[in-house]
Protein backbone atom coordinates (compact mmCIF):
# COMPACT_ATOMS: atom_id res chain seq x y z
CA UNK A 1 0.00 0.00 0.00
CA UNK A 2 1.55 3.31 -1.01
CA UNK A 3 2.10 5.88 1.67
CA UNK A 4 1.71 9.50 0.77
CA UNK A 5 2.32 12.92 2.19
CA UNK A 6 -1.42 13.55 2.16
CA UNK A 7 -1.69 11.10 5.07
CA UNK A 8 -1.18 13.16 8.22
CA UNK A 9 -0.47 11.44 11.51
CA UNK A 10 -0.58 13.56 14.66
CA UNK A 11 1.27 12.66 17.86
CA UNK A 12 0.08 13.97 21.23
CA UNK A 13 2.55 13.66 24.10
CA UNK A 14 3.78 16.02 26.80
CA UNK A 15 7.28 14.44 26.55
CA UNK A 16 9.27 16.09 23.73
CA UNK A 17 11.54 13.02 23.42
CA UNK A 18 8.53 10.80 22.74
CA UNK A 19 7.34 13.19 20.01
CA UNK A 20 10.79 13.12 18.39
CA UNK A 21 10.76 9.32 18.40
CA UNK A 22 7.21 9.17 16.98
CA UNK A 23 8.16 11.67 14.27
CA UNK A 24 11.23 9.63 13.29
CA UNK A 25 9.23 6.38 13.06
CA UNK A 26 6.20 7.85 11.26
CA UNK A 27 8.25 9.79 8.71
CA UNK A 28 10.46 6.75 8.02
CA UNK A 29 7.24 5.06 6.89
CA UNK A 30 6.58 7.83 4.37
CA UNK A 31 3.85 9.62 6.29
CA UNK A 32 3.60 13.27 7.33
CA UNK A 33 3.85 13.82 11.09
CA UNK A 34 2.88 16.71 13.32
CA UNK A 35 3.40 16.65 17.07
CA UNK A 36 1.56 18.59 19.77
CA UNK A 37 2.25 18.57 23.48
CA UNK A 38 -1.26 18.63 24.96
CA UNK A 39 -4.88 17.71 24.41
CA UNK A 40 -5.79 21.39 24.13
CA UNK A 41 -3.21 21.84 21.36
CA UNK A 42 -4.68 18.84 19.52
CA UNK A 43 -8.21 20.25 19.70
CA UNK A 44 -6.93 23.57 18.25
CA UNK A 45 -5.09 21.73 15.48
CA UNK A 46 -8.19 19.72 14.51
CA UNK A 47 -9.97 22.96 13.59
CA UNK A 48 -7.70 23.21 10.53
CA UNK A 49 -6.16 19.73 9.96
CA UNK A 50 -7.68 16.32 9.32
CA UNK A 51 -5.28 13.58 10.40
CA UNK A 52 -5.89 9.95 9.48
CA UNK A 53 -4.39 8.76 12.78
CA UNK A 54 -3.82 10.31 16.19
CA UNK A 55 -1.10 8.70 18.33
CA UNK A 56 -1.97 9.70 21.89
CA UNK A 57 -0.24 9.37 25.23
CA UNK A 58 -2.61 8.66 28.11
CA UNK A 59 -0.78 10.27 31.02
CA UNK A 60 -0.63 14.00 30.33
CA UNK A 61 -1.22 16.97 32.64
CA UNK A 62 -4.41 19.08 32.44
CA UNK A 63 -6.30 16.81 30.03
CA UNK A 64 -5.28 13.14 29.90
CA UNK A 65 -5.44 11.03 26.74
CA UNK A 66 -8.84 9.55 27.53
CA UNK A 67 -10.38 12.99 28.11
CA UNK A 68 -8.74 14.28 24.94
CA UNK A 69 -10.06 11.34 22.88
CA UNK A 70 -13.55 11.90 24.25
CA UNK A 71 -13.34 15.59 23.26
CA UNK A 72 -12.14 14.66 19.77
CA UNK A 73 -15.06 12.25 19.29
CA UNK A 74 -17.55 14.77 20.76
CA UNK A 75 -16.45 17.97 19.02
CA UNK A 76 -15.29 16.45 15.71
CA UNK A 77 -17.87 13.70 15.07
CA UNK A 78 -17.22 13.66 11.31
CA UNK A 79 -13.47 13.12 11.72
CA UNK A 80 -12.75 9.63 10.37
CA UNK A 81 -9.47 9.00 12.10
CA UNK A 82 -8.15 6.25 14.31
CA UNK A 83 -6.97 7.10 17.81
CA UNK A 84 -4.12 4.86 18.89
CA UNK A 85 -3.05 5.21 22.51
CA UNK A 86 0.74 5.01 22.87
CA UNK A 87 1.29 4.27 26.53
CA UNK A 88 3.09 2.32 29.21
CA UNK A 89 -0.28 1.61 30.86
CA UNK A 90 -1.72 -1.77 29.98
CA UNK A 91 -4.15 -2.69 32.71
CA UNK A 92 -7.65 -3.96 31.92
CA UNK A 93 -9.03 -0.69 33.33
CA UNK A 94 -6.88 1.30 30.89
CA UNK A 95 -8.03 -0.80 27.93
CA UNK A 96 -11.68 -0.35 28.86
CA UNK A 97 -11.15 3.37 29.45
CA UNK A 98 -9.49 3.78 26.07
CA UNK A 99 -12.31 2.07 24.20
CA UNK A 100 -14.95 3.99 26.15
CA UNK A 101 -13.20 7.26 25.23
CA UNK A 102 -13.36 6.45 21.53
CA UNK A 103 -9.91 4.94 21.09
CA UNK A 104 -9.29 2.30 18.45
CA UNK A 105 -6.02 0.64 19.45
CA UNK A 106 -3.04 0.58 21.81
CA UNK A 107 0.72 0.48 21.28
CA UNK A 108 2.84 -0.09 24.37
CA UNK A 109 5.89 1.92 25.40
CA UNK A 110 8.76 1.51 24.95
CA UNK A 111 7.76 1.96 21.33
CA UNK A 112 8.70 -0.80 18.93
CA UNK A 113 9.00 0.61 15.38
CA UNK A 114 7.64 -2.50 13.64
CA UNK A 115 4.63 -2.79 15.95
CA UNK A 116 3.78 0.90 15.61
CA UNK A 117 4.10 0.84 11.81
CA UNK A 118 1.96 -2.30 11.53
CA UNK A 119 -0.80 -0.62 13.59
CA UNK A 120 -0.55 2.56 11.50
CA UNK A 121 -0.81 0.60 8.26
CA UNK A 122 -3.72 -1.42 9.65
CA UNK A 123 -5.70 1.73 10.47
CA UNK A 124 -4.73 3.62 7.30
CA UNK A 125 -6.19 0.70 5.39
CA UNK A 126 -9.40 0.89 7.42
CA UNK A 127 -9.86 4.65 7.31
CA UNK A 128 -13.13 4.44 5.41
CA UNK A 129 -14.65 2.09 7.99
CA UNK A 130 -13.64 3.85 11.22
CA UNK A 131 -16.68 4.51 13.35
CA UNK A 132 -16.61 7.20 15.97
CA UNK A 133 -17.77 6.16 19.41
CA UNK A 134 -20.08 8.81 20.84
Q: How do residues 96-109 score in pLDDT, each as one tens digit?
A: 889 899 999 999 99
- pLDDT category, 94, cuts 50, 70, 90? confident
pTM of the full predicted structure? Answer: 0.89
Using an 8 Å Cβ cutoff, are 57 and 18 in contact? yes
The per-residue pLDDT for range 8-41, each reduced to its tens digit, is: 999 999 999 999 999 999 999 999 999 999 999 9
Nearest to 11 by CA among 35, 27, 29: 35
Amino acid sequence: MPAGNDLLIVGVDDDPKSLVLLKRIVESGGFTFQGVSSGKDLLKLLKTKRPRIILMDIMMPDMNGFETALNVRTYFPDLACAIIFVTARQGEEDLRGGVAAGGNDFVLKPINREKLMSRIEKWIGRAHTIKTAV
